[in-house]
């Protein structure tokens, strides 16, 4: 039984690291872990529906944390810091710079709010990406304030 569980978890991790255009990695990880939890609960309780449901729920909760951890790539940290910097820079009087670092990859970046334009309120963002080899790459992004009042990154 332990070999089956290990196989299911390994299979879920392999597929969760793949990138396909229409593949939602987070949902796959959550669904797989929920299924694995239900399988464990089913076999530990000899087919009891309540234990199977509890196992599935615990698997889903674990899968949510696992999906969040897997999804923390460089863009995740860049986006979080950019949105925080935009909130600080909301008054348009001073241009604020933000810094991010991905503790898993060691990559860092600098975020500079370059200016604002148009309606809705949009901001031009310069992003200096620095990888582990200290090679810098510049890119530009745009973020606009949605009707809800939250900032949204536009790719």
Same domain membership, residue 52 and residue 91: no
Same structural domain, 61 and 29 = yes
Secondary structure (3-state) at 48: coil
44 and 108 within one domain: no
Q: Let me know whether 14 and 84 are in one domain.
A: no
Last residue of a domain, one of 25, 50, 70: 70
State whether 78 and 139 are in the same domain: yes
Looking at the structure, do residues 47 and 102 belong to the same domain, yes or no? no
Same domain, 99 and 124: yes
- The reply to whether 57 and 116 lie within a common domain is no
SS3 56: helix
pLDDT at residue number 22: 47
Q: In angstroms, rounded to a whole number, what is the distance separating the alpha carbons of residues 75 and 110?
A: 12
Residues 115-137: pLDDT tens digits? 777 765 888 888 888 877 788 88
Q: What is the residue range of 88's domain?
A: 74-154
Same domain, 48 and 101: no
When divided into structural domains, the chain yields a total of 2
pLDDT of residue 18: 53
Q: For residues 59 and 81, state if they share a domain.
A: no
Of 55, 70, 85, which one is at a domain's C-terminal end? 70
How far from 29 is each of 9, 42, 47, 153, CA to CA, in Å? 9, 20, 24, 25
Distances (CA, A) of 109 to 50, 79, 85, 136: 48, 11, 13, 9
My answer on whether 55 and 99 are in the same domain is no
The answer for residues whose C-beta is within 8 angstroms of residue 111's C-beta and 6 or more apart is 78, 81, 82, 85, 97, 98, 99, 100, 125, 126, 127
Q: Is the pTM of this model over 0.85?
A: no
Residues 13-34: tens digit of each pLDDT: 666 555 544 456 667 767 777 7
Average pLDDT over residues 139-149: 85
Rounded Cα gap, residues 138 and 134, in angstroms: 13
């Amino acid at each position: 039984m332990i070999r089956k569980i290990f196989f299911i978890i390994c299979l879920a991790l392999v597929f969760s690291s793949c990138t396909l255009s229409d593949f939602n990695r987070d949902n796959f990880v959550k669904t797989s872990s929920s299924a694995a939890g239900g399988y464990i609960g089913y076999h530990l309780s000899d087919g009891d529906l309540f234990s199977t449901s509890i196992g599935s729920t615990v698997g889903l909760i674990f899968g949510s944390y696992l999906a969040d951890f897997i999804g923390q790539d460089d863009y995740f940290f860049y986006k979080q810091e950019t949105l925080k910097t935009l909130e600080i820079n909301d008054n348009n009087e001073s241009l604020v710079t933000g810094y991010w670092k991905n503790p898993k990859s060691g990559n860092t970046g600098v975020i500079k709010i370059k200016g604002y334009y148009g309606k809705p309120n949009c901001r031009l963002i310069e992003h200096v990406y620095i990888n582990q080899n200290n090679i810098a790459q510049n890119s530009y992004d745009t973020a606009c304030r949605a009707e809800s009042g939250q900032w949204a990154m536009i790719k």
